[in-house]
Chain A
């Protein structure tokens, strides 16, 4: 078990949010099973009021989760000081089998709750709240995700050993790593080529309004960006050809650029997925969500490219 100030605070806030969800679960369950908009009963009237409470809690939970995510990354970075062998969050995340899962879960929860809130806003624009059922099915998923996340968090932090040596990022991602490598036997230039091509596809599908293609391309973009950033662009940020790590980007030495890069990337994918889900469920147009997505994706690709260009201009060579 590992122990620190930030960890205590982090777990406290996570438990608070979890409790709020448990608190609202009864309301949500009632709405899901008893909802009948055409009924003039007192129950229906109460349920409509309770809907406000559930959306209030979700709004609160999402805002807290969004603020907590960078704090969580920072926490992982600071814990690396306590683990033998760890130089950055990479080692801490790989300290046991729950770390990766927890990170993915956190992003998924932000995706789902964000989508829920957009759906909620659209629902409130209608007279007869037609999207209550899909909304509460989504809530159910979110509820179980949150409970699952709390469980994983508990397992993750209680199973970090401060004695066992963990791997540092250059062992996990670097030249002599044998764990994570590029998928399908691609080499890095193929990945880069695909990465830029996907962005062009995103741009074209946005202009032509092919929403499904845009969403699928966004998911591809997220995956490709992970590899491109870790194995190519990060070396330009660190200005060291052997240093390949997605987590060191968050450190002070690199001006906390990781928060911007990963933030814009995750935000971009979120808007595309949320836009797709909302457009499937409601009758509203979601072009503005796709526009946000494209803007964020473009910020990401520009920031990455800029690092390479600036490095080339400064030194006259590529790494």
Chain B
């Protein structure tokens, strides 16, 4: 403990020299931990979103691309024992030509309890009756902003194949904070969405199935394969697995790049720690002369490194927490979500994932300390009589 006190005093004494290492190290940790905060917060929101998803999804693929699925199989699926509810889902991107952006159109059956439940919390004082009376839609705040740029204040004209442009009124704006993944979306009545996206009456994007008993899911999947042998069946577990894999993969790539660049900086840290000026040498010489052993000098030098790395670690993590969760439009979100589309003012949900910080600790502090081992030893073995001369 005495070494730590002494080390902190000597660090403050040589502030100008140590501050550079501190700033660089903090910057490195800031970048890495911003990335980790962003990734784990998005992952967490995605997990929460997946929680509300149906248990099984049936999609129809042609040449491994999504194709509209025929809704006539719904009745057949509902007859499978263990299935509580089957419903069609409509969604798809509408290309807003003038702005060169995609808008995610979601069709909802507002008279269906299950689907209405998902929407209800998005918009306060939602009056279903007045909403359904006209061609209305709910839009996200980012979409609202986008439309306003093109002077669509009250309504929007969707261009529909072989028809007049479809005029849909903007009924209200839903709170983006509640759902990050609806940021580029508009929500409307199902029939209208089918019309806009070019679906036939009996077509849907996918079919959702709710199974109350999770143990029956695998069994039901087998039976679904008999009904629709060519379609793709996705269970909730698959979705979790896929999303985790994706984020882990992106995180892993970033980490590999980070480590590569960090290695370069370690060389700088190493040479910075190795270069000891005359005064520093004298200091060590005097300490040796008054009875410090080689081990004591090493302990003192290592305590300095430990203090620098821990303080930088904490300040880097703290700074990135403030930046990621309190500032809008941080640049790290675009790494994950892409910046071309309507993703504009996103505020991430604060989420702290301990495992990620253990990783960060390992890839920054251990290599940093490793790079200071040799310099610490090197300075400790200098001949005291030479140093004082």
**Interface positions of A (Cβ within 8 A of B):** 3-10, 12-13, 16-17, 20, 23, 49, 52-53, 56-57, 60, 64, 68, 71, 74, 78, 81-82, 124
Chain A interface SS verdict (over half): helix
Give CA–CA (A9, B356) in the complex, Å: 10
Query: Would you call A82 and B245 a contact (CB within 8 A)?
Result: yes
B252 touches A7 (CB 8 A): yes
Bound-state Cα–Cα, A64 to B362, Å: 9
Q: Known contacts being A49-B381, A52-B377, A56-B376, is A9 close to B359, with CB within 8 Å?
A: yes
Which residues of the other chain, B, contact A56 by a CB distance below 8 angstroms? Answer: 298, 373, 376-377
Give A45 Cβ to nearest chain B Cβ, in Å: 10
Complex CA–CA separation, A10 to B370 (angstroms): 15
Number of A-B contacts (CB under 8 A): 70
Decide yes or no whether B180 CB sits under 8 A from chain A. no
Q: Which residue of B lies closest to A70 (CB)?
A: B358
Residues of B within 8 A of A7 (CB): 252
Complex: A13 Cα to B363 Cα, angstroms: 7
CA distance A3 to B253 in the complex (A): 9
Q: Could you list 28 A-B pairs, sorted by A, with CB under 8 Å?
A: A4-B248, A4-B251, A4-B252, A5-B252, A5-B255, A5-B359, A6-B355, A7-B252, A8-B252, A9-B255, A9-B359, A12-B362, A12-B363, A13-B362, A13-B367, A20-B370, A49-B294, A49-B381, A52-B294, A52-B381, A53-B373, A57-B373, A68-B362, A71-B362, A78-B355, A81-B244, A82-B245, A124-B295
Instruction: Please judge, given known A-B contacts A5-B248, A5-B359, A82-B245, whether A60 and B377 are in contact too, CB under 8 Å.
Output: no
Are B363 and A9 closer than 8 Å at their CB atoms?
Answer: yes
Q: Which residues of A contact B248 (CB under 8 A)?
A: 3-5
Complex contact B366–A16 (CB within 8 A): yes
B249 touching A8, Cβ below 8 Å:
no
Closest chain A residue to B371, Cβ basis: A16
**A5: chain B residues within 8 A (beta carbon):** 248, 251-252, 255, 356, 359
Query: Quick one: which of B202-252 are within 8 Å of A by CB?
Result: 241, 244-245, 248-249, 251-252
Closest 7 CB pairs of A and B: A5-B251, A49-B381, A9-B359, A53-B377, A4-B248, A8-B255, A9-B363
- Looking at A9, A23, A53, A64, the one whose CB has the most chain B CB atoms below 10 A away is A9
Instruction: Report B-chain residues with C-beta under 8 Å of the C-beta of A52.
Output: 294-295, 298, 377, 380-381
Query: Nearest chain-A residue to B367 (Cβ)?
Result: A16
Chain B residues with a Cβ closer than 8 Å to the other chain, count:
29
In the complex, whether B17 has a CB less than 8 A from a CB of chain A is no
- Contact string against A for B residues 348-389, beta-carbon threshold 8 Å, 1 for contact and 0 otherwise: 000000011011001100110110011011001100000000
> In the complex, A49 Cα to B381 Cα: how many Å?
7
Q: Are A8 and B259 in contact (CB under 8 A)?
A: yes
Complex-state Cα separation, A12 to B362, whole angstroms: 9
For A9, give its contact among B249, B298, B362 (CB under 8 Å).
Answer: B362
**In the complex the two chains form, what is the Cα distance from A252 to B377 in whole Å?**
41
In angstroms, Cα B251 to Cα A4, docked, is 8
Q: Of all chain B residues, which has the CB nearest A4?
A: B248
Question: Bound complex: CA of A56 vs CA of B370, how far in Å?
Answer: 10
B377 → chain A closest CB, angstroms: 4
By the criterion CB–CB under 8 Å, are A12 and B373 in contact?
Answer: no
CB closest residue in chain B, given A23: B374
| B residues less than 8 Å from A78 (CB atoms) | 355
- Beta-carbon contacts of B40-72 to A below 8 Å, as 1s and 0s? 000000000000000000000000000000000
Residues of A within 8 A of B374 (CB): 23, 53
Q: How far is the CA of A88 from the CA of B278 in the complex (A)?
A: 57
12 extra A-B contacts, CB within 8 A, seeds A9-B362, A20-B370:
A4-B248, A4-B249, A4-B251, A4-B252, A6-B359, A12-B363, A13-B367, A20-B373, A68-B362, A71-B358, A74-B355, A81-B244
Q: Which residues of A contact B362 (CB under 8 A)?
A: 9-10, 12-13, 68, 71
Expressed in whole angstroms, the Cα–Cα distance for A97 and B43 within the complex equals 33
State the Cβ distance, B225 to closest chain A Cβ, in Å.
18
Q: Do residues B366 and A64 form an inter-chain contact, with CB atoms below 8 A?
A: yes
Smallest CB–CB gap between B380 and chain A, Å?
A: 7
Rounded to whole angstroms, the CA-CA distance of A87 and B357 in the bound complex is 24
Check if A60 sits within 8 Å of B249, measured CB to CB: no
> Does B261 touch A at the CB level, under 8 Å?
no
Q: A6-B355, A9-B363, A16-B367 are in contact. Are A60 and B373 (CB under 8 A)?
A: yes
Q: Which residues of B contact A16 (CB under 8 A)?
A: 366-367, 370
Looking at A52, A68, A71, the one whose CB has the most chain B CB atoms below 10 A away is A52
Complexed CA–CA distance, A6 and B357 (Å):
10
Of all chain A residues, which has the CB nearest B363? A9
Residues B244 and A3 in contact, CB atoms below 8 Å apart = no
Known: A20-B373, A56-B373. Is A8-B256 also a contact (CB below 8 A)? yes
